[in-house]
């Protein structure tokens, strides 16, 4: 599907597409349906998945198996890892990132979202399921906030399961969900977000407009809406920086999965791993569905083979120029605090969290509160403590050195999310790297 030498493919824009949303709202089924309707899954595999679903007493799960990575995911119906698959339309190439929806796997959801250009927020219209996801203890709101935090350029909402017996393509139900979500989206910073009614299992209003959609819906299908989004602006002229999401050794060679953040990488190019500063040579580049390529530009999510047998750390970066990446453990950040957990409701020096920066996940401690802003943007210097729902400037110290950057110079390595236990408590940006 992705022959790198084809002239038509060379001009297609590449988009990283993450599917997010509350658990059991139909993300994996929707991803599988896209691939199925585009003819990318052969009949033998389809029959295999149908039989597996029957053996697991979950006949309706077989489409989700197209994206599920292992037997545990298939048996439980819960996505745990970020699954990747590719497809293309006549206008664009897409890499699907199917992110987990369960709150226990939010760190993996963050990993997928941090690599995405566009997010599809999947919301179930089924009675009580929308409400469970949208309430404050659900994942719908948190996933939207995380998508904004990690620089997703565009967000599309799909209202799934519109054919469920509790919904029956009812316009009032759709309008209620759309209005509720749009209000929150406007507050977060996703104005004018398309909201599309679909059925992922039945394949309605996804790859094509269809006569089975009620006349009250005047918009486009999901794929037509995706293709109509404006192009993503990429930096391909700067020295290459590649964010590593996973690494392993196969037959004595290092393989990584990563995203080209800026620049362009080519086969036979030398790259430096930061922070280890080990040097590798690129021996192979593999785009979606394992198609080889001689080069890959900013925005590509791909597998890279390297000479050497060292395993790179998750969160490390490969770069052509060691001076293009800052490595450190101490920095100033501007954060928006969310609701702090009841067990630790006061944000103060000594507060311990888990920080997500790029693909790095690392322990962190608040060393000092530098400033706090009120609703009128008045600033108070060096507050002793702050509480929930506050904008604060803070000095953070990580438990180890990682690649990081000021948001103003390299946003992908300058966005930060803080978590405590199973809760996201703050998000923001790195504003100054300190000597460490």
pLDDT of residue 221: 95
> At 395, which CATH number?
2.40.30.10
Q: Give the model's pLDDT for residue 138.
A: 76
pLDDT in tens, 97-139: 877 644 555 667 777 788 889 999 999 999 999 999 898 777 8
Q: Are residues 142 and 51 in the same domain?
A: yes
pLDDT at 4: 36
Of residues 50 and 76, more confidently modeled: 50
Domain that holds residue 195: 7-227
pLDDT at 2 over 50: no
Element (H, E) at 92: strand 92-98
pLDDT (tens digit, 9 = 90+) per residue, 316-370?
A: 999 998 888 899 999 999 999 988 998 899 999 999 999 999 889 999 999 999 9
**Residue 234 placed within a domain:** no
More confident residue, 30 or 114: 30
Q: Are 332 and 310 part of one and the same domain?
A: no
Q: What is the mean predicted confidence (pLDDT) over 155-168? A: 96
375 and 276 co-located in one domain:
no
* Predicted local confidence at residue 7, as pLDDT: 38
Give the orientation angle of helix 140-149 with respect to helix 171-188, to 10 degrees: 40
User: For residue 46, is it within any domain?
Assistant: yes
pLDDT at 3: 38
Domain count, the chain: 3
Neighbour order of strands in the sheet with 13-20: 83-88, 92-98, 13-20, 118-124, 154-160, 195-197
Distances (CA, A) of 266 to 262, 294, 298, 304, 306: 13, 6, 12, 10, 12
Please tell me the pTM assigned to this model.
0.85
Note the pLDDT tens digit of each residue in 236-273. 999 999 999 888 888 888 999 899 999 999 999 999 99
What pLDDT was estimated at residue 104?
53
In the predicted structure, residue 60 carries a pLDDT above the cut 60: yes
The pLDDT, as a whole number, for residue 8 is: 40
Same domain, 413 and 399: yes
Domain identity same for 14 and 148 = yes
- Over the stretch 372-400, which tens digit does the pLDDT of each residue have? 998 878 889 999 999 999 999 999 999 99
pLDDT tier for residue 291 given thresholds of 50, 70 and 90: confident
Q: Please, what is the average pLDDT of the chain?
A: 87
The CA distance from 276 to 272, in Å, is 8
């Amino acid at each position: 599907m992705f022959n790198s030498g084809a002239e038509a493919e060379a001009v297609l824009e590449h988009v990283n597409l993450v599917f997010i949303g509350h658990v059991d709202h139909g993300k994996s089924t929707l991803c599988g349906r896209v691939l199925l309707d585009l003819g990318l899954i052969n009949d033998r595999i389809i029959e295999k998945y149908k039989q597996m679903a029957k053996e697991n007493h979950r006949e309706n799960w077989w489409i989700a198996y197209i994206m599920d990575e292992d037997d545990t995911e298939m048996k439980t119906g819960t996505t745990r890892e970020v699954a990747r698959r590719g497809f293309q339309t006549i206008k664009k190439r897409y890499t699907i990132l199917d992110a987990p929806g369960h709150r226990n796997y939010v760190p993996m959801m963050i990993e997928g979202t941090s690599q995405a250009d566009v997010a599809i927020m999947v919301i179930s219209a089924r009675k009580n399921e929308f409400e469970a996801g949208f309430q404050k203890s659900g994942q719908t709101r948190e996933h939207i906030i995380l998508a904004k935090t990690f620089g997703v350029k565009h967000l599309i909402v799909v209202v799934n399961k519109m054919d469920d017996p509790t919904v029956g393509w009812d316009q009032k139900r759709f309008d209620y969900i759309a209005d509720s979500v749009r209000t929150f989206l406007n507050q977060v910073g996703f104005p004018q977000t398309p909201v599309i009614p679909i059925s992922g299992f039945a394949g309605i209003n996804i790859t094509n407009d269809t006569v089975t959609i009620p006349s009250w819906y005047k918009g486009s299908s999901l794929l037509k809406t995706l293709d109509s989004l404006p192009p993503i602006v990429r930096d391909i002229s700067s020295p290459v920086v590649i964010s590593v999401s996973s690494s392993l050794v196969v037959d004595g060679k290092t393989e990584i999965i990563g995203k080209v953040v800026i620049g362009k990488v080519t086969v036979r190019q030398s790259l430096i791993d930061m922070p280890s500063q080990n040097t590798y040579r690129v021996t192979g580049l593999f785009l979606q569905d394992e198609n080889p390529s001689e080069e890959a530009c900013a925005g590509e999510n791909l597998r890279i083979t390297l000479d050497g047998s060292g395993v790179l750390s998750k969160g490390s970066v490969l770069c052509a120029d060691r001076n293009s990446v800052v490595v450190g453990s101490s920095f100033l950040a501007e954060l928006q605090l969310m609701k702090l957990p009841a067990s630790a409701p006061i944000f103060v020096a000594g507060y311990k969290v888990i920080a997500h920066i790029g693909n790095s996940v690392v322990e962190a401690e608040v060393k000092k509160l530098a400033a706090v802003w009120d609703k009128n943007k008045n600033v108070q210097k060096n507050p002793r403590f702050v509480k929930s729902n506050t904008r604060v400037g803070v000095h953070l110290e990580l438990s180890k050195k990682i690649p990081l950057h000021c948001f103003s110079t390299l946003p992908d390595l300058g966005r930060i999310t803080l978590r405590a236990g199973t809760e996201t408590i703050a998000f923001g940006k790195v504003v100054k790297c300190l000597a460490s």
